[in-house]
Chains A and B, each alone.
Chain A
């Protein structure tokens, strides 16, 4: 569904992604692992076309729709949750008759009430849920989630993980970018581990030789960098 080959990107002569290659298959949850500043978000931005590629290639299966949830979601503060989703649905040109039903269903899916509460009064957890909701608009084939549990407390993280598991069970393809290993180990099938923009190794839940993801990560990245 998505294939990245030899991706390289530099900012002001500093290489942040170096010769990175990986592919995401249909129906799996693929993890993109690395410490803060490893180049994960930059790679996602390259996939989404939000930043240019210095060299390499990104191939996306023809006709697929991509949904994206950013690391630090920010929405127009004077809108409520329904209005935010309606805004993005409008930009996506989802026809009005379908929109109302889809938004109500999405709010229900991500566990947000269709209330008049404005986004400026939302908690971090509610913002992350809303971000996931807008990513799901238009029923995308591939969902890219950038640190979906960032800034959430234990309960918020648990709820978000349950939500992603629910999406996985619905057969959706998901690319998750995270540095919280316990979350990844719980919900992902396989992934790659990067450090300072360089691919250090791969991880596959089905083939882990009884090692935990944490142990594999420490072996590949080194304890001091976590």
Chain B
């Protein structure tokens, strides 16, 4: 786990992770504590039961995009700097090297999620829900499925395609995952070839919205649907297996 620990240490010592997370926290606090007002159709949203899911949606969206950013450069940078050479000559198998770097990405995503959850903590306190604060832990863990899925997908893409393309595809997939239910509606409305295209895309893209909805249910004392969570975990599993079996070209200096 040396590679993972060092990669994570490097991420944690960089300031950009905290700056972006802090901006996210500020935005969330602005709406969640009454400092700012969120309006839908001209009606101010102040009710805890309405505002909570909105907060969770923002946490999920911000964190997924942040995860793409923090996960994107880790593996390609190792090749660009040549630090990978000093690892290869020590007979570290490629799957382990990529796997540990990808795991560091997931953990960094979970750290930024924890920072964003500080806003949820304050939001619940501001809404006199101190007795329900414990629910933040399972909510955090469930939303962590999305973080892991987006992070693993980004890591996988960053090994297969150039960094810029990997970032664009991963960000696109994350957005599609966040608006998964909306795309589901669109699929039925569009029909024909476009509808089929969306249908296939939806099968490949993890249902980040679905997982977030389950997290919301837990936060409000409901029950999560296991099959939605299992689908999210399956996506993580598939990306991990693909990352392990994909090998960069035998000529490692070519990258």
Contacts and interface: CB of A to CB of B under 8 A. Distances in A.
A68 B83 contact: no
B250 interface: yes
B8 to A, nearest CB: 11
Interface of B: 2-3, 6-7, 9-10, 13-14, 81-83, 85-90, 92, 250-254
A88 B253 contact: no
Nearest to A146: B85
30 contacts: A48-B88, A48-B89, A49-B88, A49-B89, A50-B85, A50-B252, A52-B250, A68-B86, A68-B89, A70-B82, A74-B81, A74-B82, A74-B83, A75-B83, A76-B10, A76-B83, A78-B9, A78-B10, A78-B13, A78-B14, A79-B6, A79-B9, A83-B6, A87-B2, A87-B6, A88-B86, A88-B90, A90-B2, A91-B3, A91-B92
Contacts of A87: 2, 6
B83 to A, nearest CB: 6
Interface of A: 45, 48-52, 66, 68, 70, 72, 74-79, 83, 87-88, 90-92, 134
Contacts of A72: 82
A48 to B, nearest CB: 5
A49 to B, nearest CB: 7
Contacts of B6: 76, 79, 83, 87
A207 to B, nearest CB: 33
Contacts, number: 57
A51 B252 contact: yes
Contacts of A76: 6-7, 9-10, 83
Contacts of B253: 45, 50-51
B86 A66 contact: no
Q: Could you say which of B7, B87, B90, B252 has the most chain A C-beta atoms within 10 Å of its C-beta?
A: B90
Pick the 9 closest A-B CB pairs, nearest first.
A90-B2, A78-B13, A74-B81, A51-B253, A78-B10, A91-B90, A87-B6, A76-B10, A48-B89
Q: Could you say which of B6, B92, B252 has the most chain A C-beta atoms within 10 Å of its C-beta?
A: B6
A49 B7 CA distance: 24
A32 B176 CA distance: 54
B83 A134 contact: no
B76 to A, nearest CB: 14
Q: Could you say which of A90, A91, A92 has the most chain B C-beta atoms within 10 Å of its C-beta?
A: A91
Given A91-B90, A134-B86, A52 B251 contact: yes
Nearest to B252: A50
Given A45-B253, A51-B254, A91-B90, 19 more contacts: A45-B85, A50-B85, A50-B89, A66-B89, A68-B89, A70-B85, A76-B7, A76-B9, A76-B10, A76-B83, A77-B10, A78-B13, A79-B9, A83-B6, A83-B9, A87-B6, A88-B86, A91-B92, A92-B90
B101 to A, nearest CB: 12
Contacts of A77: 10
A70 B7 CA distance: 21
A83 B251 CA distance: 29
A52 B85 CA distance: 14
A209 B215 CA distance: 82
A68 B3 CA distance: 19
A88 B3 CA distance: 9
B74 to A, nearest CB: 11
Nearest to A74: B81
A223 B240 CA distance: 55
B19 to A, nearest CB: 16
